[in-house]
Structure 1
């Protein structure tokens, strides 16, 4: 009988802790006006580049923005923002995100790894626990936007992010034009619908290329795949971002493309996306 009482007490204590955590998470998320999850069913489509530049573009427009990298196995946001050497300040019950500029705050597992060559070998529940901690314990404060950069696919990380962010989260799905990418991105649309997550639209990255010397227009990865998929699935098409080698260089060297190349066609497309989202 005594063992039964102790088990009942432990169960009640566990339930109380969960309720407290859920209340804290709800309170934190309630201070964020807009939650946008950038995702794709296909890797290598430039999803993290889009997330970083979109967050920076919104911050440059004067909004208070958070950027959360939940790619556990390949966190690239710190490099894209030239923040690889930064470490967040951690207290007992909160974590301070790393600032970039005046209006943008960033959090990534990449800040916490002792060695960037170290492999992260985690199963689903551990990943969900980390994402919960980043949403619940990071001192995001009052934000206009929280941009969440997910790894490719429809696995643990995007599922956990959408579940924890709440029903008002929305998704932006990134693709490239070729059919092999579009096939996987179609699954992302189905995933969002099964998760009952509204889709803001599909963004086609690497959609075309114009030679800076001769102005010849080349469709290196084909073109129009994202727009065609949007029509097929009844989703808004957010436009196409052209190929620019400077986007690659900016990511490698850690400077934000929309800030350093504001007059380029690709940067204007990214700024147009920020404008569409914020109006």
Structure 2
């Protein structure tokens, strides 16, 4: 009995790589036995028949079992969860709720939600999103990214995500890259095939990505919005009313003017604008000077005008220089804050990430734990 108890305790330390909870907690351990000769026979029920993490889970179970003194060998007998087991697991992951709900709108949820917006395409909004997410995760935060740019998705490539999320019946387990959970329509569309959808389908897609995906307990959720103020920006405001906007622009006057309009949507959606990020601010030269390829002051102009329009302080969060390392890292699937952390762009992006991560969420929508008393 002591040996069996120690073995069960060791298995409790094995974490499911997708759900990020102990396999003993989510009902994956079907049985544990120890033969007289010290052979440990462990029954494991995978969530799905074609579980992509089969080898990793069996390897982790085998390794954990062999750390127990007295275990001479390990045999793992794999199975698959029954419909009832999967239903119980889905209910458990949803906090006891049988039907899908958007967890970020539930009372007491403390996830900070930042919608990364821009007025026009080509300003590096997705690059900024991917780097902010991985920088926050590298600092120990639990981070998720929802690629809300349905038509121009690029997050899977920038994070190096391949394949589809694992399906747990009507629940999706998001892939994890660089310790960031990510979901994108690009994970479901064949390469080269366009997405041709109208407003209602776009709204439903965002709603499903929020409610049908098991995001877990996130510290921060980043949404990579499409350019402009169209259907998806409005849907995000409806589905996530407490999401805060971060506006990305370049120094160029044409880009900053459009970016201002993207931030001004907050006047109609009752959202707040956290700040402005100026991307491609300058190019560092070998002699130490800066070459301002797209002009100067665009980020400051957007921040000042939004402050005036919204009647609240909208700061310039940071200026990101042009950096070949950032472009190469994005193409390679490893954001520059990880692949070249000492580069100028990485340092600037990391500073912005820490500014956003250190902000405290307001009390709006949160339970105060106060019960009215009648007198």
**Structure 1 length as normaliser, TM-score?**
0.87
Residue 173 (structure 1) aligns with? 247
Report if aligned partners of 2:160, 2:177 keep a CA contact under 8 Å in 1.
no
User: What is the CA distance between 1:63 and its match in structure 2?
Assistant: 0.4
Q: Which has the higher helix share?
A: 1
Shift of the 101–245 alpha-carbon distance from structure 1 to 2, 3 Å rule, reads closer
Partner Cα separation in structure 2 for residue 116 and residue 74 of structure 1: 12
Shift of the 27–241 alpha-carbon distance from structure 1 to 2, 3 Å rule, reads closer
SS at match of 2:281: coil
Relative contact order higher in (CA < 8 Å, ≥ 6 apart): 1
SS at match of 1:239: strand
User: Superposition pairs for residues 1-279 of structure 1, below 5 Å?
Assistant: 24-30=100-106, 31=109, 33-83=111-161, 85-102=162-179, 104-113=180-189, 115-166=190-241, 168-211=242-285, 213-234=286-307, 235-279=314-358
CA shift digits 1:215-242 (9 cap, x unpaired): 3320001111111221222121112101
5+ residue gaps in structure 1? 1-20
- Higher Rg of the two aligned structures: 2
Shift of the 32–67 alpha-carbon distance from structure 1 to 2, 3 Å rule, reads farther
User: What is the CA distance between 1:101 and its match in structure 2?
Assistant: 2.8
Q: How many residues align?
A: 253
Partner Cα separation in structure 1 for residue 102 and residue 196 of structure 2: 29
SS at match of 1:67: strand
User: What is the CA distance between 1:249 and its match in structure 2?
Assistant: 1.2
Report if aligned partners of 1:28, 1:141 keep a CA contact under 8 Å in 2.
no
Partner Cα separation in structure 2 for residue 155 and residue 244 of structure 1: 30
Moved over 6 A (4+): none
**Structure 2 length as normaliser, TM-score?**
0.65
5+ residue gaps in structure 2? 1-96, 308-313, 359-375
SS at match of 2:111: strand
Report if aligned partners of 2:123, 2:250 keep a CA contact under 8 Å in 1.
yes
Residue 8 (structure 1) aligns with? none
Q: CA RMSD in A?
A: 1.5
Report if aligned partners of 2:250, 2:256 keep a CA contact under 8 Å in 1.
yes
Deviates more, 1:244-253 or 1:136-145: 244-253
